[in-house]
Amino acid sequence: MFFLSKKKRGNIKDDILSGLTVALALVPEAVAFSFVAGVTPLVGLYAAAIVGLITSIFGGRPGMISGATGALAVVMTSLVATHGIEYLFATVVLMGIIQITLGLLRIGKFVRLIPHPVMLGFVNGLAIIIFMAQLGQFKTLNMATGAMEWLSGSNLIVMLIMVLFTMCIIQFLPKLTKAVPASLAAIVGITLLSQFLPFGEDVRTVWNQLRDMTSTSVPDSAITLKGSLPSFHIPNVALTWDNFKIILPYSVILACIGLIESLMTLTLVDELTGTRGRSNKECMAQGAANITCGFFGAMGGCAMIGQSMINVRAGGRGRLSGITAAVALIAIILVAAPLIEKIPLAALVGVMFMVVIGTFEWATFQIIRKAPKSDVFVMVLVTVVTVFTDLAIAVGVGIIATALLFAWQHAKEIVITVVEEDKRHRRYDVNGALFFASTTSFREAFDPINDPDNVIIDFLNSRVCDHSAVEAIHALAERYRSVGKNIHLRHLSVECSALLKQMGDLVEVNVLEDPDYHLALDKLA
């Protein structure tokens, strides 16, 4: 399905180097998402470090990177603006409790019910979102008007050249050597280039982006990523029913969005690495990480698809890659912030553009010409909804659309054949699934008025799937009974026969031939 990387085992060197690359990419996004949520940069950086460290150690998907994400930040915005940051911390704690509960209930396994067209639409929509998010790096703050304006002139030219140079390094360096991850080499190389070439003053850095995101009243000396280790802090929110009603809706939404994004990322990394993660274990690890965030002044988070792609592309496969990224991020906060602030935005944009190219499923254009129209519709729908709303909403819409299309298609596939056994017996052979969408066609196939006194309905090649189907059979039996005729049902499953006990001798049970269906239980998740 995906061809972003080759399937291979990880090693310590690759995990450490890829983790360092991811740490560099985590900084600007964590800062950006902090401002989206309406909190200070350190709140987002703490979340990236805490969530990344805990999920890397205890999560169900080695090699997957977690941290502060935009999907959660957007939901947090109104809560912080209306009630303040302490309510955010309390909400994140309850969010984590909900996620652990869902993990204990083994809800994670249901991610495998997500159809392939939904996955393709999700991945393509995600690639578009990552691309569009990088366009904001081509804007700068006009100090006179306080408005963000597009780069122009030499600033724009330098930015574009350095982005292109970064992409070329990532693309072609692996053909020369794989000793160092190409993304890390590109970031270091472009940073050194910006320091020693004459156009260095035209290069926008991470510090410039912080300056643009911060109030103009804040002095430049106060704009920094440097901080201390997070300290234990109980959210300053009274334990009252009114406060619980405030944070509960946000907690439920954040928990669902976080798990959907995390489990979708888990599935994607599974595809890329040829291995299998444990979804329920990941649910509980995400929950534990968010509870910790709430008690240590962080905004919470979930799996990050973009950073996970960077990690996989750079060779990160084991838990050590995520642990390295989290520890490096803490080191950046403590001592290396001045160095990180000098990294050109162009280098980070170039890295993310290569992630976009690797994430987008280019085979989609071939699939569109060959796949059924219903699958194409779902792919396009999920992509559009992902871009314009939210990843979690897009997945939900895609699953619902797929289910409806599936039901409609199979509703048309039920075929009923009439066989004349003799003058007093007529048999109806049912072929296809009988469920809520096909009951109308099922009912219309029978003619109680003109049928003989004895009618046999044979379900040998059919499956009675739900309560709507049972009710349709019961209603049909009543129609025949009302005109004084007998109806016999053959080859019903044991489960369906039990549901039709109220029909008495109308059910003709054949112990030797009637099928026995059993539910397939998942014990792997």
CA distance 183 to 357: 14
pLDDT at position 500 is 64
pLDDT at position 403:
87
| Nearby residues of 477 by Cβ (< 8 Å), 6 or more positions away | 487, 503, 506
pLDDT interval class at 327 (50, 70, 90) = very high
> What whole-number distance in Å separates Cα of residue 204 and Cα of residue 149?
14
Neighbours of 42 (CB within 10 A): 20
Contact (CB, 8 A) for 52 and 325: yes
Do 230 and 298 meet the contact criterion of CB atoms below 8 Å apart?
yes
User: Percent of the chain beyond pLDDT 90?
Assistant: 30
In the structure encoding, which two tokens stand for residue 277, read together? 């993660």
CA distances from 264 to 47, 187, 268, 380 (A): 20, 28, 6, 18
Regarding pTM above 0.95, the answer is: no
For 470-485, the pLDDT digits (tens) are: 888 888 888 998 898 8
Per-residue pLDDT, averaged over 226-255, amounts to 92
Where helices occur in 413-459 by DSSP H, the ranges are: 439-444
pLDDT for residue 2:
41
Do 403 and 417 contact (CB within 8 A), yes or no?
no
3-state SS assignment for residue 517: coil
Asked whether the predicted pLDDT for residue 512 surpasses 70, the reply is no
Q: What beta strand segments (E) does 196-306 contain?
A: 302-303
Q: What is the structure's pLDDT at 501? A: 62
Q: Where are the beta strands (DSSP E) in 411-451?
A: 415-422, 425-434
* Mean pLDDT along residues 188-196: 87
Q: Is residue 110 over pLDDT 70?
A: yes
pLDDT average, residue stretch 18-36 = 82
Tell me which of 3.40.50.300, 2.60.120.480, 3.30.750.24, 3.40.50.1360 is the CATH number of domain 412-506: 3.30.750.24
Q: What is the average pLDDT value for the chain, to the nearest integer?
A: 84
The size of the chain, in residues, is 525
Q: Determine the pLDDT at residue 522.
A: 41
- Written as six digits, the tokens of 237 are 């929110």
> Beta-carbon neighbour count of residue 110 at 10 Å?
14
Residue 271 clears pLDDT 60, i.e. is over it: yes
Lowest mean pLDDT among 340-354, 441-455, 483-497: 483-497
For the residues 261-288, what does the mean pLDDT come to? 89
pLDDT for the residue numbered 10: 58
Nearest to 345 by CA among 44, 116, 506, 136: 136
- CA 102, chain centre distance (Å): 16
Mean pLDDT of 209-231: 74
pLDDT tens, 286-299? 999 999 999 999 99
**Residue 1: CB atoms within 10 Å:** 11
Q: 458-489 in b/e burial notation, b at 16+ Cβ within 10 A?
A: bbeebbbbeeebbebbeebbeebeeeeebbbb
pLDDT of residue 303 exceeding 90: yes
- What are the extents of the domains in the chain? 12-141+151-372, 412-506
End-to-end, the C-alpha distance of the chain in Å comes to: 22
